[in-house]
Structure 1
Amino acid sequence: MIQRPQPDDRFRIRTLHRWYAVSWVLLGLCPPVISVLDKAGTSRFWWSLALPAVIALCYAIVVAYPGNPVLRPHTFLGVLTLCLGGMSCARGDGAALFIVSLPHFWLLAKSPRHSIAFSGIAATATVAGITIHRGADADFFTGNIIFTLIGCTAGVLLGLGVVRIVQQSDERARRLSAELESAQLRLLEAHKLQGATEERERLAREIHDTLAQGFASIIVLAEAARSSLDTDPGKSAQQLLSIENTARENFAEARVLVGSAPQSGLAPGSVAGTLRRTLDRFTEDTGLTVTADLPEVECDQPTRIALLRCVQESLANVRKHAAASAVDVVLALHAHGVELEITDDGRGFVVEDSRGFGLNGMRKRLAELGGELTVTSSVGDGTRVLAAIPTNGQV
């Protein structure tokens, strides 16, 4: 994976290049021109003006038109090398301009190998120009030559060090990018797994609250109808009708679960009417006394479904476990939300010992709406289930 500079990095790089270009012009190109202003008309004057102008013009073209087919960066470096040799030959001093120009060989060359080659050729041209200007008989190791050689050596070492640092930084960036990509993939897989787990839990809760309860009711009614078939045919017929209605409801709920029917499977209407129909069916199937206080309460569809599921689960527990004779259901609207209370006079149980799926399912369903479920019971004292769901975003 190739790491590309980010926008902030590119901005900093461009700013650094601009500052270096300004420094290079002021410290490299201007001094030779200023030093010969009092020697107008001489060959040294014209060479000191022409060669810096050629260098500056070529650099401006490379920067302004980086894609031009004629003057590419390597071409400019070749021109710079020739001009450094020409300046040294015309003036006898080229070390300062050479040292100031060294970053060009590392910024514009294609690779460190090309940078070293251009730096060495430019240093050779500068030394050769100084030697030609001074003459073959002059002392070779002058200050300009020594500084040129030292500058070339230091520039190569410094350039290689910077390249090494950049390579290590790129390697770390690639490694971190690979680790980040791997972590993102693991996180994505974890999210998918979590989503699948949550969906399985949701389906399990829906199946338990609808199909499983319906099938349990069908089994109980079928057993009762079979036992009274000879002694009380009328009652058996009524129980068979209840089995038929329950099976139809289960079929509708199954269509909802497989996505072939509108979500919720709940007919439109008030929550009080929906709960009242459920309680009537329960009374019809079990013969238990049910007292209901169900005022008309305005609530949204998710709240309506949650209240219905709480009633269905509580009644199913009463039928299977409580051995109760009476059930009391109260629906109320308060400032903080809507509350549903279901109580029975059955045998009760120890709440802390309960590990049933139904109670946990009710708690999770209410928690999704910001509500909570409170179950109060003890052995021999019946059971009280209180479902509270906030309205208008209140908790």
Structure 2
Amino acid sequence: MLQRPQRGDPFWIWALHGWEGLSWALIALVTLITVLGDAPTRTTYGMPALVVVLALCYALVRGRPDNPVLRPYGYLCVLVVALGGLSYLGDGLGVFYTVTLAQFVVFVDSLRSAVVYTGLGAVAITVGGTLREGWRTDVLTTNAISSLAVYAVGILIAVLTPRALALRDERAALRAELKTAQLKLAEVYQQQGAAEERERLAREIHDTLAQGFASIIVLAEAARSGLAVDIDRSAQQLQSIEQTARENLAEARVLVGAAPRSGIADGSVAATLRRTLDRFTEDTGLIVTAELPDIECDQPTRVALLRCTQESLANIRKHAAASTVGVVLARHPAGVELEITDDGRGFLVEESHGFGLDGMRKRLAEFGGDLTVTSSLGDGTRILAMIPMNGQV
């Protein structure tokens, strides 16, 4: 049985069900006019009785299509009998066949069933009308021709309905596929966002907490070994450990959301880098030369330059065995450049797969910048970070 139309169904399905509902309004109107008019007694009483029986069966099957007493095809049998009876009771009541054509399509589940039951309806009104007028060849021929004309319309309806249903199913399938694609896309975006957030947190932890803890370990080892030799130096190293730990605590609060913004103090990029270089010189004793002009840039750019500096200095401390370090900050028409060089042992860039350098590249890429690493064994290392800027010096 054809279900009630839903949003998105073709117009034909809505029209078919609208016709089904309208048919009962017309049946009620014709019945009322016939009963109140000057109709024969058998019509006056027989017609309402058949209509009431038909209406009760309709309500029963519409309310419960799987009812064991009366199923949709059982209702169509009742409809065929009722149409034949109405045609027999009164002249012109065969019009009910035309009125109820939609029901022969709505209550079936195949084109073949629609054709068969619509044909049975045509036979019923033909036989009923012929019996009422007298069984003669001319009467039978006339009634059959008029019934066949209506039957042809019923066949057309039965043929068009499956096409409309196919279109509806196709649209429903497309909507389902679109919804599935949207859900999958949303899931991919969610997974991608989660992966990007994990990568961002990993980079932040590496550039802040991990570097801080590494510095604390190096300073603690140096302070412990120097307690018996240089107490003042050890005290200075312990003070550096305390300061680094406090900075790590501030960064940890930022990462877990307990602080509203980066723990990096406000100020120019030159002042920020100068503080970092002074701490590095104090902790390592290496000679650092720096050219740090006062360049205006926003906080995110300043943080990116600072993180690149911290990562480069950490690599120099752990791997380079250098004696001098050079840092140059420059403003060019294309943007800001930060160059960090050392005279250490160097390395083979193509064989380096560390998280630090990769993290620096990705951090700079967020600003449209890039990172150039130049190094060879025994010749030191050069790190060049570039970030585009639109502002003026």
Query: After TM superposition, is the score higher than 0.5?
Result: yes
Give 1:130 shift. Answer: 8.0
- Equivalent position amino acid for 1:106 in 2: A
Counterpart contact for 1:106–1:112, Cα < 8 Å: no
Task: Report what 1:161 is aligned to.
Answer: 159
1:109-258 alignment, distance < 5 Å: 111-112=107-108, 124-125=124-125, 136-137=135-136, 139-140=138-139, 142=141, 145-146=144-145, 148-149=147-148, 151-152=150-151, 154-258=152-256
Letter in 1 for 2:7: P
Deviation of 1:172 (Å): 3.8
Q: Which residues of structure 1 form unaligned runs of 5+?
A: 21-76
How far is the alpha carbon of 1:240 from its aligned partner? 1.0
The structure-2 alpha-carbon separation of the partners of 1:177 and 1:318, relative to structure 1 and needing over 3 Å to count, comes to same
Q: 1:308 to 1:107 in 2, by over 3 A?
A: farther
Paired letter, 1:5: R
AA at the equivalent of 2:138: D
Give the letter for the 1:228 counterpart. G
**Corresponding residue SS for 1:223:** helix
- 1:31 corresponds in structure 2 to none
Give the superposition deviation at 1:333. 1.6
| Match runs of 1:1-395 below 5 Å | 4-6=6-8, 105-106=101-102, 111-112=107-108, 124-125=124-125, 136-137=135-136, 139-140=138-139, 142=141, 145-146=144-145, 148-149=147-148, 151-152=150-151, 154-392=152-390
Once the two structures are superposed, residues 136-170 of structure 1 have per-residue CA deviations (whole angstroms, 9 ceiling, x without a partner) of: 54524536633532641x34443333333333444
C-alpha distance in 2, partners of 1:258/1:380? 42
Moved more, 220-229 or 273-282: 220-229
CA distance, structure 1, for counterparts of residue 223 and residue 139 of structure 2: 122
Q: CA deviation at 1:185?
A: 3.1
Gaps of 5+ in 2: 20-78
Change (3 A) 1:392 1:131: farther
* Deviation of 1:378 (Å): 1.1
**Per-residue deviation, residues 16-52 of structure 1 (Å, max 9, x unmatched):** 99xx9xxxxxxxxxxxxxxxxxxxxxxxxxxxxxxxx
State whether residues 89 and 130 of structure 1, in contact with CA within 8 Å, keep that contact through their aligned partners in structure 2: no
SS at match of 2:238: helix
Q: Aligned Cα RMSD in Å? A: 3.9
Distance 1:368 1:85, change over 3 A: same
CA distance in 1, matches of 2:272, 2:245: 18
Residues 332 and 148 of structure 1: is their aligned pair in 2 closer, same or farther, counting only changes over 3 Å? same
User: For residue 273 of structure 1, what is the amino acid of its counterpart?
Assistant: A
Displacement after TM superposition at 1:259 (Å): 0.9
TM-score, scaled to structure 1 = 0.69
Counterpart Cα distance in 1 of 2:383 and 2:122: 91
In 2, the alpha carbon distance for the partners of 1:110 and 1:165 equals 14
Task: State the Cα distance separating 1:206 from its structure 2 match.
Answer: 0.6
Aligned to 1:227, the other structure's residue is in SS state helix
Equivalent-residue separation in structure 2 for 1:386 and 1:318 (angstroms): 15
CA distance in 2, matches of 1:241, 1:156: 97
8 Å contact from structure 1 (residues 279, 290) kept in 2? yes
Change (3 A) 1:111 1:363: same
Distance 1:371 1:173 in 2: 47
The Cα of 1:208 is off from its aligned counterpart by: 0.5
2:101 partner letter: F
For normalisation by structure 2, the TM-score amounts to: 0.69
- The one-letter code sitting in structure 2 at the alignment partner of 1:105 is L
User: How many angstroms apart in 2 are the aligned matches of 1:273 and 1:308?
Assistant: 11
Q: AA paired with 1:199?
A: E
* Contact 2:130–2:140 (8 Å) recurs in 1: no
Instruction: Report the 3-state secondary structure (helix = DSSP H, G, I; strand = E; otherwise coil) of the residue aligned with 2:374.
Output: strand
Report the counterpart of residue 58 of structure 1 in structure 2: none
CA shift for structure 1 position 124: 4.9
Question: Residue in 1 aligned with 2:58?
Answer: none
Query: Structure 1: how far apart are the matches of 2:320 and 2:165?
Result: 75
Shift of 1:332: 1.4
In 1, are the aligned partners of 2:130 and 2:139 still within 8 Å (CA)?
no
Q: Is the 8 A contact 2:292 2:330 kept in 1?
A: yes
**Gap change, CA 1:280 and 1:179, over 3 Å in 2:** same
Whether contact under 8 Å (2:5, 2:13) holds in the other structure is no
Cα 1:109–1:168, aligned 2, differ >3 Å: closer, same or farther?
closer
Contact 2:268 2:295 in 1 (8 A): yes
Cα displacement (A) at 1:275: 0.6
Aligned residues: 321
User: For residues 165 and 203 of structure 1, what CA distance do their matches in structure 2 show?
Assistant: 56
Percent identity between matched residues is 59
